[in-house]
Amino acid sequence: TRADITYFGAGPAALPTDVLEIAAQALLDYNGTGLGIAEHSHRSELATNIINEAKADLASFLDIPANDYEVVFMQAGGTGEFAASVYNLIGAWVARQHAAILAELGAGADEAAVVAALRDRVEKKLKVDYIVTGGWSLKAYQEAIRLLGPEYVNLAADARTLNDGKFGKIPDPSTWKLSEDAALVYYCDNETVDGVEFPEFPAVLAPRADGSGPIVVADMSSNILSRRVPVSNYSLLFFGAQKNLGCTGVTVAVVKKSLLPPTTSQPSPALLRKLGLPVPPIMLVYETIAKNNSLYNTLSIFDVFVAGQVLKKLLKTFPDKVDGQQAVAEKKANLLYAALEKYPDVYRIVPDKSVRSRMNICFRVTKNGNIDESEKAFLKEATAQGLTGLKGHRSVGGIRASNYNSIPLEGAEKLAKFIETFATA
Ligand code: PMP
């Protein structure tokens, strides 16, 4: 049964049982309305309340400055955000250049001359920068190349160069080759497949004293809600719900308001075409989704409801909000790494110690020198004890214990104990 299992899968992850019980009831009959939550109109007042409460609870738990940031629910997963981040921030970059050129050429400037100047600037200066530290930032980088062509995409750092073509380290920020005035600098805060997490916000990307600085985008799909985030350092954060927030189906984008109207408006499709830049699908345009409070089209209110219930539970459990959850996440991760480190002849932790993820603990089992057989035995015996979902990602193999928020301390303790007994058996 559910009570016998601790599920360490990387996503979708386990959800708290009490949240699922509430969700199951809501699917049948939401608040005595006789209709389930997945049947009610997304335009109903109750749907709007669910969206607004989830947004407010997220902002409260993470201390998102509500005056400066907009929270939107998107629908194409983390992968959709790889594209959305490119489209929207390129659009914002073009809008800035457009305004600057208009200012330079004066109010009466000929439209063709403005477009020509803009086109020249795009060709000479437009860059998006990627810090590639694992499989997911690599995918985002590849998506940028697919959408824009390689000439606009700068690989500012590639962790594989430090480690024989493998991920597992983060290149020192002093070596990053950042472009001047990049439309965005992208990184993945926690690499789910490779078990690499940024220990903190990279200081080279911090805003300058005058408020200017790089346009920073971070993928926080697999570590959001597990530690304090310096939100004001980012132009955009995004995360799929299916690990620490809720069930698969919604993706959250936290967008700096200065990138949205009235401060910044996306260029028209006609202008983008003249500049040879791609026109975004409307579903990926933050200003459209934000203007409609995430209801430009049919949104799964059920998924937002589940995320909202997880947030309510977190707020109830941790009076000091994300700091409380962070302490638990660190405690669980330390326990597991300590158990692994105790037996260096049996376990090899994959990433470098300085960048070990608190969320995805990746290791190899090298007992008796035969990795394949020892990992099979490890997985089999773990499963027999109700410790499931531990198989590493198919692209890298090995073992991965995903230590998301829904893993209770006792679950982590049980796995740590198993790691020890397997090593000594
Ligand atoms: N980014 C990270 C860090 C992820 O872990 C994942 C999925 N596991 C994705 C992006 C892609 O998310 P999705 O499957 O929702 O597109």
**Per-residue pLDDT at 336 exceeds 90:** yes
Q: Which protein residue has the closest C-alpha to ligand 1 atom 9?
A: 78
Interface TM-score (ipTM) > 0.90: yes
What is the model's pLDDT at position 378? Answer: 97
| Alpha helix stretches (DSSP H) within 106-250 | 111-125, 135-148
Ligand 1 midpoint to CA 78 (Å): 5
Mutate-to-test residue for ligand 1 from 221, 358, 400, highest number of ligand atoms within 8 A of CB: 221
What is the model's pLDDT at position 82? Answer: 98
Q: Could you tell me the pTM of the whole model?
A: 0.98
What is the model's pLDDT at position 86? Answer: 98
Query: Last residue of a domain, which of 305, 337, 360?
Result: 305
Q: Which amino acid is at 292?
A: N
pLDDT per position as a tens digit, 205-225? 999 988 889 999 999 999 999
Q: What is the mean pLDDT of the chain?
A: 97
**Per-residue pLDDT at 368 exceeds 90:** no
Query: Last residue of a domain, which of 283, 305, 327?
Result: 305
**Per-residue pLDDT at 101 exceeds 90:** yes
pLDDT per position as a tens digit, 104-123? 999 789 999 999 999 999 99
Say which CATH number the domain at 345 has: 3.90.1150.10
Q: For 121-138, give one letter per residue: b (16+ CB within 10 A) or e.
A: bbeeebbbbbbbbbbbbb
Angle at 363 between CA 360 and CA 368, to 5 degrees: 160
* Number of separate domains in the chain: 2
Closest CA to 364 of 194, 128, 149: 194
Distance, in Å, from the CA atom of 221 to the CA atom of 234, rounded to the nearest integer, reads 15
Domain assignment of residue 328, given as a range: 319-424
Over residues 183-203, mean pLDDT: 98
Same domain for 255 and 150: yes
Say which CATH number the domain at 153 has: 3.40.640.10
Distance, in Å, from the CA atom of 111 to the CA atom of 122, rounded to the nearest integer, reads 16
Residues 6+ apart with CB under 8 A from 59: 66, 69, 71
Share of the chain above pLDDT 90, in %: 97
Mutate-to-test residue for ligand 1 from 79, 186, 194, highest number of ligand atoms within 8 A of CB: 79
**Per-residue pLDDT at 293 exceeds 90:** yes
Q: What residues are labeled active site? A: 136, 219, 243
Same domain for 363 and 289: no
Share of the chain above pLDDT 70, in %: 100
